[in-house]
């Protein structure tokens, strides 16, 4: 990967571009040309937000320059929708951070109880129905397993339900980052998957997460 690739950083639900600033600074220190893409995660659905990313690129990016994409949580589902629906762009490598590629149990509960909290980010995204990842895309997935965050009450409740069901469960199956289960981050089409001891939001300011992200963008795999 050339370090001259433009790196697009995409935040998650209920966030804004500034949340990606620590990651952006660490990427810039390693030579990446970064842009923090902002979108309205509550008011607009995934299709609208990926279309706006495409519009921004059409106005500000040369199509011959490779794009790298790093996205947190819901942002990773926008990446999938964008890549699938706008195949004209040349994609280098992508990394998703805590993205529930298989749908989010936490979002399911919130959607049933208070849909307004997840807004239009649920359908075609957090419900597990995001666009498939094209085979040629080189994607690395980072998941956290430090169970602290606002989604804990829902996940603890869900874990109790699973245990009462009598199903054989392992600690790995129940692991989460406080919002998203590790199992929800796994995607068969991904090139690599790495679990790190970070929370869902804490991964955005963790220097080791940033280092592993840069390593994947440069080498196509995480460092072990």
DSSP string over 149-197 = STTHHHHHHHHHHHHHTT----HHHH-BSSSSBHHHH--TT-SEEEEES
CA distance 133 to 138: 9
Residue 149 CA to residue 2 CA, distance in Å, equals 36
Q: What is the pLDDT of residue 168?
A: 64
Those residues whose C-beta lies under 8 Å from the C-beta of residue 177, and which sit 6 or more positions away, are 98, 143, 144, 145, 146, 147, 149, 198, 199, 200, 203
pLDDT of residue 1: 41
User: Structure tokens of 43?
Assistant: 């008011």
- The confidence score (pLDDT) of residue 94 equals 98
CB pairs under 8 A, 24+ apart, for 22-30? 22/204, 22/205, 22/210, 23/70, 23/204, 23/205, 23/209, 23/210, 23/213, 26/207, 26/210, 26/211, 26/214, 27/70, 27/210, 27/213, 27/214, 30/3, 30/214
Please say whether the beta carbons of 51 and 200 come within 8 A. no
Secondary structure class of 221 (helix, strand, coil):
coil
Low-confidence ranges of the chain (pLDDT < 70): 1-3, 166-169
pLDDT of residue 116: 87
pLDDT of residue 169: 67
Q: Are 83 and 135 in contact (CB under 8 A)?
A: no
C-alpha–C-alpha distance, residues 51 and 62, integer Å:
17
Burial (CB count within 10 angstroms: exposed 0-12, middle 13-18, buried 19+), residue 215: middle
């Amino acid at each position: 990967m050339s370090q001259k690739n433009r790196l697009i950083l995409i935040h998650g639900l209920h966030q804004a571009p500034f949340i990606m600033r620590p990651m952006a600074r660490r990427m810039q220190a390693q030579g990446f040309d970064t842009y923090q893409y902002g979108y309205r995660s509550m008011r607009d659905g995934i299709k609208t937000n990926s279309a706006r990313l495409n519009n921004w690129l059409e106005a500000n990016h040369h199509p011959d320059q490779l794009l790298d994409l790093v996205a947190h949580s819901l942002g990773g589902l926008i990446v999938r929708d964008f890549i699938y629906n706008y195949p004209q762009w040349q994609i280098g490598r992508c990394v998703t951070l805590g993205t529930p590629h298989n749908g989010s149990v936490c979002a399911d509960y919130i959607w049933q109880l208070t849909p307004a909290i997840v807004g239009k980010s649920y359908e075609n995204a957090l419900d597990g129905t995001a666009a498939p990842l094209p085979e040629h895309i080189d994607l690395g997935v980072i998941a956290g397993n430090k169970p602290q965050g606002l989604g804990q009450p829902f996940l603890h409740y869900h874990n109790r339900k699973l245990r009462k069901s009598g199903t054989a469960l392992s600690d790995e199956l129940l692991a989460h980052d406080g919002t998203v289960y590790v199992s929800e981050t796994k995607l068969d089409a991904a090139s690599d998957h790495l679990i790190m001891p970070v929370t869902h939001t804490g991964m955005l300011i963790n220097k080791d997460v940033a280092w592993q992200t840069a390593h994947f963008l440069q080498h196509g795999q995480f460092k072990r």
